[in-house]
Amino acid sequence: MADPAELLDDVEETSDDEVRQLRLVTELAGAIEDRDGPQIRLRLADEHPADIADAVEQLTWDQQQVICEVCPDVFNGEVLAELVDETRGDIIEALEPQQIADALEDLDSDDMTHVVEELDEETRAAVLAAVSDEDRQALEASLAFEDETAGRLMQREFVAAPSFWNVGNTIDHMRKAGEDLPDLFFEVFIVDETFKPIGSVPVSALMRSHRDVMLKDLMVASKAIIRPEDDQEDAAYLFEKYHLISAPVVDADGRIAGMLTLDDIVDVIQEENKEDLLALAGVNEAGQADTVWSSVRARAPWLFVNLGTAVLASAVIALFEGAIAQLVALAVLMPIVASMGGNAGTQSLTVAVRALASRDLTASNSMRVVWRELAAGTVNGLIFAAVMGVVAGVWFTDWQLGGVIAISMVITLASAGLSGILIPLGLRKMGADPAVASSVFVTTVTDVVGFFVFLGLAAIVLL
Amino acid sequence: MADPAELLDDVEETSDDEVRQLRLVTELAGAIEDRDGPQIRLRLADEHPADIADAVEQLTWDQQQVICEVCPDVFNGEVLAELVDETRGDIIEALEPQQIADALEDLDSDDMTHVVEELDEETRAAVLAAVSDEDRQALEASLAFEDETAGRLMQREFVAAPSFWNVGNTIDHMRKAGEDLPDLFFEVFIVDETFKPIGSVPVSALMRSHRDVMLKDLMVASKAIIRPEDDQEDAAYLFEKYHLISAPVVDADGRIAGMLTLDDIVDVIQEENKEDLLALAGVNEAGQADTVWSSVRARAPWLFVNLGTAVLASAVIALFEGAIAQLVALAVLMPIVASMGGNAGTQSLTVAVRALASRDLTASNSMRVVWRELAAGTVNGLIFAAVMGVVAGVWFTDWQLGGVIAISMVITLASAGLSGILIPLGLRKMGADPAVASSVFVTTVTDVVGFFVFLGLAAIVLL
């Protein structure tokens, strides 16, 4: 095996970005070594908050602590918002509540919530006590919604106008409102007299229209009106489907209460994709777990479940100890059947989980997909039955054995296709996340079926 | 096993959306049955192109063909752009080149390219011959860039202004340009006298500023300047990192030539995530493959590779036939070691692929991650060595056998952790996609190590 260090030295071929980042980390480490606050501040002055956060994440905890001591103001709101949850947690622990409250002040309400929601009870209470009354009310209102809902994600700053205004009224109003408007917005939401959103006008359309054009003539009807209790994943689906750039969130009476914007939705999409990917591989809690201990904790639970199912599969093998003792070739060949079944099952499962997540798999086409998976599994079974039948026949010069493994391959791959689709659909029906736990169930089915059919058939036919 | 139909009837608990969609498909199918063009048109008149595309995808090919015959104008540019590649390909085959050219006319250049790039040579040439000269030039320029680059993805319509303009000049200019501007835009790019982008002003900032404010006072310096030959994945990374909503694309001389917008980047992100997920599961070509045959084609190649590695693992077992014949318990237990190794390896691998994709795994931290994976694998190995040692000892009332499986578990899980990180890093170093093929290599290592260590140790210690 090659020397790890050698494999790694150019993991990132691409990028100036990487070189620039490496230089920043190195120079920062130097200034930290000297505990030179002004130098650290100077070095970071022109960097983007995202770059600062990336650099801080590359430092050791001791180095991060030095920054907290000699120049805590480096951790302004934007930098805190950019940090991964674990690092942010550590740093916030090391700062005073007042420092955190000051840092939060320049953030929009959604970013403020994002920083505060991950804090433990005690720190959260201290920070809430230190922020302005207005910010506290906004934060408490956001935190009242469940995690991963639209209410948590939305920002309370938005721009709305009645449909009877014209472009001139709207621009004049915005110029007057100035500072009270959100930092960035892409659409003006059009509301009726009860403040219910009925459509939107892209800011670019306002921009190129004459002052006397009526908003109602520029308006596009709202495709998506989101409620604060909606799952963020459902909101993301609507953004993707209708190519939205922002969307209104309404309160219980249907009045506009906030907005979601596409840049926040991108984070949701990435988070959900990551959760699915890691769940399929049996890694818990999607954390940016960076320590040995957190890695073990994230993985041991599913390894434990896997151990249980592996023992179950072994118990099936134990039923046929006698057959194996008579014909050791069975022990040599049986892992092939199980391995092919496990792989085919994982393929079906992954396609199904992906299709469920993207809502390509729906009530109206699911029967068709079940049949397709069964058929595809069977066809692949027939292909590999032929190949493996010949391989086993030649290897052990026993064509009956070749026949047994061929038949087992067809049955195992067909059941792999079927369980790969039915198990995630079943989990979904029971209200569980189809990505979590599916893998284990599917490979249990394929292992048990594979071992049982192969060894059972062999015991009947060969012995 | 439950009746499939029953499992499926409420796959989508959520949504009015789903019910609405189902109704649309049913009513559409009725009108198609009657070959009633006006009725089909009427039913679709108020639907969003995304909903029309979703409904069309749920129809059979025969039903789709009827629409192509009786009311081909339903397939306007926006609907075509929304269809998945396979369905779009089928439908375009059934339309006349002139019909396609007419449909493309109302699209922005990026969407036009998106539709045309998937066509086969012949259809593409016919469509290019039928569009306007201006569209043809734009299309040819876009298609000259490689697939999956920023040049393919960008739109040629954008808004730029010199930094010495003020807000008033800019708004007046846009009102005059009117129709020539892109349908939607979110930023005005600020260019220097050589037309190089130096920054941008969000449209919302223009909107709330007085007419005499200078653009240079509103400008944010450009964080990302993208070249057309850049990989779309690199562009997506910059959008995510800096929370961009749009970004300029420059030509070889550094002059602005087009722009990328976040809504297109969302599609890229989803595409790349899907590719990684399916590649890890050994499913090729990320197609929305919906037929049995395309499913088989997408999966058989990796099953074939897997068969090869499974035979290799069996060959390792065959080395120890004598030991298994003497002690059949070895055949019963050996799949447990291999299964645990395979699972632990897949966990490490998935975390590594994810970290590489999100660029959390870089040259500066990769050594640390390699050690972490080795350590986490070893710790999990020790945990499951203890558990499995006891289980095997009790099961076969043979504590030496328990000891052998315990030691094998530690070695196999440590090598699983190590191969789970080194293999994707190695593939990356060789310029290959770390998501593709990693799984097979990792499970080969864990199978071979697992069987060899367990059976080899058993042969030495127990026999």
Model confidence at A357: pLDDT above 60: yes
CB-based contact B344 A303, cutoff 8 Å = yes
Given pLDDT bands bounded at 50, 70 and 90, which one contains residue B288? low
Pick the residue with more confidence: B457 or B290? B457
Of the candidates A273, A274, A372, which has its C-beta nearest B292's C-beta?
A372
Contacts of B379 in chain A (CB under 8 A): 292-293, 296
- From B206, which residue of chain A is nearest by alpha-carbon distance? A207
Contacts of B293 in chain A (CB under 8 A): 379
CB-based contact B11 A379, cutoff 8 Å = no
Q: Give the class (CATH, top level) of B292-462.
A: mainly alpha
CB-based contact B203 A207, cutoff 8 Å = yes
Contacts of A204 in chain B (CB under 8 A): 159, 181-182, 184-186, 203
Confirm whether pTM is higher than 0.90. no
How close B197 gets to chain A, by Cα (Å)?
18
Model confidence at B240: pLDDT above 50: yes
Of the candidates A303, A335, A350, which has its C-beta nearest B384's C-beta?
A303
Contacts of B359 in chain A (CB under 8 A): 12
Contacts of B300 in chain A (CB under 8 A): 380, 383
By mean pLDDT, which of A51-55, A177-181, B196-200, B432-436 is the weakest? A177-181
Count chain A–chain B contacts defined by CB atoms under 8 A: 380
Q: Give the class (CATH, top level) of B160-261.
A: alpha beta
CB-based contact A277 B350, cutoff 8 Å = yes
Domain boundaries, chain A: 18-144, 160-276, 292-461
- From A322, which residue of chain B is nearest by alpha-carbon distance? B328
Model confidence at B12: pLDDT above 70: no
Contacts of B429 in chain A (CB under 8 A): 7-8, 10-11
pLDDT at A319: 96
What values do phi and psi take at A286, rounded to 5?
35, 20
Q: pLDDT tens, A241-297?
A: 899 999 999 999 999 999 999 999 999 999 889 888 999 998 886 445 578 888 898
Model confidence at A107: pLDDT above 90: no
Q: pLDDT tens, A202-235?
A: 999 988 888 999 999 999 988 888 999 999 999 9
Model confidence at A5: pLDDT above 50: no
How close B336 gets to chain A, by Cα (Å)?
5
Assign a CATH topology to domain A292-461. Tetracycline Repressor; domain 2 (1.10.357)
CB-based contact B350 A296, cutoff 8 Å = no
Of the candidates A281, A335, A366, which has its C-beta nearest B313's C-beta?
A335
CATH, domain range A18-144: 1.25.60.10
Contacts of B22 in chain A (CB under 8 A): 363-364
Q: pLDDT tens, A372-427?
A: 999 999 999 999 999 999 999 999 999 999 999 999 999 999 999 999 999 999 99
Model confidence at A306: pLDDT above 60: yes
What is the mean pLDDT of the segment spanning B432-444? 89
Model confidence at B300: pLDDT above 80: yes
pLDDT at A288: 52
CB-based contact B278 A185, cutoff 8 Å = no
Given pLDDT bands bounded at 50, 70 and 90, which one contains residue B224? confident
CB-based contact B273 A273, cutoff 8 Å = yes
pLDDT at B363: 75
Q: What angle do CA A282, A283, A286 make, to 5 degrees?
A: 140
Average pLDDT in chain A:
89
CATH, domain range A160-276: 3.10.580.10
Q: pLDDT tens, A454-463?
A: 999 999 999 8
Say yes or no: domain B13-146 is CATH 1.10.3720.10.
Answer: no
Of the candidates B207, B303, B387, which has its C-beta nearest A343's C-beta?
B303
Given pLDDT bands bounded at 50, 70 and 90, which one contains residue B289? low
Contacts of A185 in chain B (CB under 8 A): 204
Given pLDDT bands bounded at 50, 70 and 90, which one contains residue B108? confident
Helix H, strand E, coil C: the string for chain B is CCCHHHHHCCCCCCCHHHHHHHHHHHHHHHHHHCCCHHHHHHHHCCCCHHHHHHHHHHCCHHHHHHHHHHCHHHCCHHHHHHCCHHHHHHHHHHCCHHHHHHHHCCCCHHHHHHHHHCCCHHHHHHHHHHCCHHHHHHHHHHHCCCCCEHHHHCECCCCEEECCCEHHHHHHHHHHHHHHCCCCCCEEEEECCCCCEEEEEEHHHHHCCCCCCEHHHHCEECCCCECCCCEHHHHHHHHHHHCCCEEEEECCCCCEEEEEEHHHHHHHHHHHHHHHHHHHCCCCCCCCCCCHHHHHHHHHHHHHHHHHHHHHHHHHHHCCHHHHHHCCHHHHHHHHHHHHHHHHHHHHHHHHHHHHHCCCCCCCCHHHHHHHHHHHHHHHHHHHHHHHHHHHHHHCCCHHHHHHHHHHHHHHHHHHHHHHHHHHHHHHHCCCCCCCCHHHHHHHHHHHHHHHHHHHHHHHHHC
